[in-house]
Each structure stands twice: as C-alpha cells, then as structure tokens.
Amino acid sequence: MFTPSFLRSILLFAAVSLPLGYCPAQSAAPGHPTAVPLSLKEAVQLAMKQNPQRLIAGIAAQEADRNRQIALSPLLPQAGIEADAALEQYNLQIVEKLPRRLGAGPYQFTEAGPAFSQKIFSLPLIRGYQIGKEGVREAMADESVAREEVTQLVVTQYLLVLRANAAYEAARARVALAERLYQQATDLEKTGVGLSIDTVRANVELQNERQTLIDADTQTRTTKYALGELLDLPATETPEPSDALSFFDLPAYDGAAMISRALGQRPEMRAVKSQERIASLAHKEAHDQIFPAIAFNGFWSYQGEHFNNGIPGYSYQISLDFPLFTGGRIHAETERASLEEQRIAEQDRALRDQIVAEVKSALDELEAARNSVDVANLGLKLATEEVAQAQRRFQAGVTTNIEVITAQDELARASDNQIEALYRFNQSRANLARAIGEIENTYEQ
C-alpha cells in the first residue's frame, strides 16, 4: 500500500522541487543533436553574441556612424591632384564670323597641380551633420531596443522550455503512480476483493496518463527547437536548460516610481527623442536654405606646352550662393518637416501611453502570479493527500476505485496549476523588467 508520504514525494519532486542544474537524460545515440547545458544567464549572453536580429541592429548602428562621417565630409577641406593634357584646334569662323573657314591651332598644353575647396558657411550642411550625429544616437537606442526584445524572446522561450520540462517530469511521475494503482487494482481483483471494472478504470487512467506523457515529451522537444533558433545554435546542437522554475520573494513595487523609471530609461523613449531632435534639425535645415552659402575654391598648376617650358598658373576665388526664387521648394520642404515633427510628437505620446499600460499590467500580473503560487502549492498538497486517502479506502475495500481515479485527475490538475503558476510568476517578472527597460541587465548580469 502506498503511504501519503510516498505519493507526496513523487508529485512534489516532479512539480515543485526541480533543482537548479537539473537536466533530463539525453539520448547519446549517433545522429542525435548534442545537448548544450545553458543557464538562463548563459542563454541571454549567447543570444547577445550571435542572434541575427541583435547583430542586424548592431550593423545598423555602425551604418549610422558612417552616415555621420559622410555628412561631415562636405564641411571639411577638399583637396586633390589634377592633371590635363590636350591637343586642340578651333575654327575661327564660328567665333569671329569670318567669311571663310580658318583654323586656329592645333594647340598643345599640359598642366598638373593641386585643386582645393572649402565650404566657409552653409547652414544646410551644418544641419545635415547634426542630423547625422543624432542619427547615431537613434541607431544606438534602436540597438538597445533590439537587445531588449531579443532578451525578452530568449527569456520567454527559456521559461517555456522549463515549463515543458516540469510538465514532462510531472507526467512521468503520474504515469508511475497510475502503473502502481493499476497493479494494485489487478492484485485486488485476483484476490477477489476488487472488481474487474476497477481494473479497467485503472487501466484507462494509465493510458490517459501515458498519452499525456507523450504530448509532454513532444512539447519539451519543440520548445527547445525554438530556443535553439533564437540562440542561432547549429543543427547538431540543442539547448538544455540547467535552471528550473523557481519562486522567490520580491520587494513591494511603487507603481508611480516604476512608471517614472520606465519613461526615463526605456530605449524606445531614447529613440523617439532622437527622432524628435532629427525632425527639428530637418525643419531648420529646410528653412536655412534661404541663407547664402559661402565657399572658397581654387587651384595651382604648372602649365605649358610641355613640362620643360611651363610656368605656374593659379586661381583663387570665393563664391556666394544666394537663392532668390526656388519655385516654392524651400517653403514646401519646411512645411513637410513641420508635419514630420507633429507626427513624431504624436508617436511619442502614444509610446508614453503604451509604456504606462505595460508597467501597470506587469505589476498587476506579477502580484496575481505571486498569489497564484501560494494557492497552487496548497492545492497540490491537498490533492496529494486526497489520492493517498482514496487509495487507502480502495485498498480496504470501502469503495471502488472511482474515488482513486477522481483523485488522480484532481492531482493532475493541481500539478498543472502549480507548474503554470510558477511559469506565470517567472514570466511576469520578466515582463516587468522589459516594461521598465531593464530585462537585459536583469538576466545577463
């Protein structure tokens, strides 16, 4: 006969006490993927190194810095070496309106020397460089957004794998319990104490639990495949989490303080602030086209028919470009930039509302999940005791095993509830960290 302590140890070990460092046994058969043990921290760190989306965001930040360098280039002195050699002949008739054609030339000349230019004053170019600098800040903020999003995906998928593993172990424990109860019913039937229907019921329950175990095993595999994709692991490797679903006390959170914190440090807010500054600079850039632009350029060259009979030639000039009439282009570009500022301002307002809602929801979900864990723990304890009592009553012949089957079903539901409560608690904690913009720091450090 199974004692209450024996039943409790089986179910609590499967559903509650999965220790850190636990790994289900892996097949070592040739051709099977190699299991790669990873803690949650190690999984996040690995994703930051090789997740494609994270790498793409990093490349975009580098591209933004190159764009800044390109925008700076027109403001810096430009210099180069120029060389020309030519043999030319003209028809003087087309120049002097002679009655007959008269050739001039051929003339031969060569020249070589440096040419240089410098923009002395051009507000649009200055604004373009400022936009490039702000674009780097925006790209860096976007990269932080990508890092946060990838971290959230990895944490969520890692927790799904832990939930699947816990469900698998709980299902395996219930199969073991169902097998023992089926054997008990068979033995009682042989001794004449039990009925054939009791044995059939126990066998049906055993097959149901075996089907649940098959589904749970499949779930452990598919969730690991998704995690491996996020980590960009080779096809020959599969991640094997070394952590487990856990519960721990958390401090009380001040909702207003958390919202203020999120608005101040979410990378999305930094990105939209950069967009606002870029839109403002673009507005100024369009308007500043009404101002004159001043440039200096020139050349110095050695000129002659041949290099052995040349003399220096040079030209230095300052140019002033002052637009008078542009067909309404400057006004239209200014208005377009103003509309862009309005659009981004609305985007900023919508983002603020979204962040506030996310923080509030995450705090409520975390509190509910914390309470659910306590309720689920008590429910599992009571369901375990119910199975033990029903088994003793059936053993004593007081009742049929309908009570045992019912208790088994209640125990399965209580076990699933506890696993789900632990999963929601850990997921809610991750959601709160993401809502305030600290999920990478929370799980990578």
Q: What is the pLDDT of residues 221-258, one digit of tens each?
A: 999 999 999 999 999 999 999 998 888 778 888 999 99
Q: Does position 5 have pLDDT exceeding 60, yes or no?
A: no
The confidence band for 31, taking pLDDT boundaries of 50, 70 and 90, is: low
Q: Is 317 within 8 Å of 295 (Cβ atoms)? A: no
Per-residue pLDDT band at 215 (split at 50, 70, 90): very high
The arithmetic mean of pLDDT across residues 399-410, rounded, is 84
pLDDT value, residue 248 = 79
19 against 367, higher pLDDT: 367
Whether pTM > 0.85 for this model: the answer is no
Q: How confident is the model at residue 20 (pLDDT cuts 50, 70, 90)?
A: very low
Mean pLDDT of 99-106: 80
List Cβ neighbours of 151 (8 Å cut-off, separation of 6 or more): 44, 47, 48, 434, 439, 440, 443, 444
Residue span of the structural domain in which 308 resides: 4-444
* Predicted local confidence at residue 23, as pLDDT: 39
pLDDT at 157 over 50: yes
Q: For the chain, what is the domain count?
A: 1
What's the CATH code of the domain at 10? 1.20.1600.10
Percent of the chain whose predicted confidence (pLDDT) is above 90: 67
pLDDT of residue 1: 40
pLDDT of residue 17: 37
pLDDT above 70: percentage of residues in the chain: 93
pLDDT band for position 339 (50/70/90)? very high
Low-confidence winner among 8-12, 106-110, 156-160 (lowest mean pLDDT):
8-12
Task: Supply the pLDDT for residue 428.
Answer: 95
Task: Compute the CA torsion angle 417, 422, 426, 432 (nearest 10 deg).
Answer: 60
Tell me the pLDDT band of 402, cut-offs 50, 70 and 90.
confident
Range 122-137 average pLDDT: 94
The arithmetic mean of pLDDT across residues 94-117, rounded, is 83
The whole-chain average pLDDT of the chain stands at 88
pLDDT at 279: 95
pLDDT band with cut points at 50, 70 and 90 for residue 89: confident
Res. 442: pLDDT tops 70: yes
Q: What angle do helix axes 329-395 and 402-435 make, rounded to 10 degrees? A: 160
Q: Are 348 and 222 in contact (CB under 8 A)?
A: no
pLDDT tens per residue across span 269-298: 999 999 999 999 999 999 999 999 999 999
d(CA 343, CA 362): 28
Which residue matches tokens 């009570």? 403
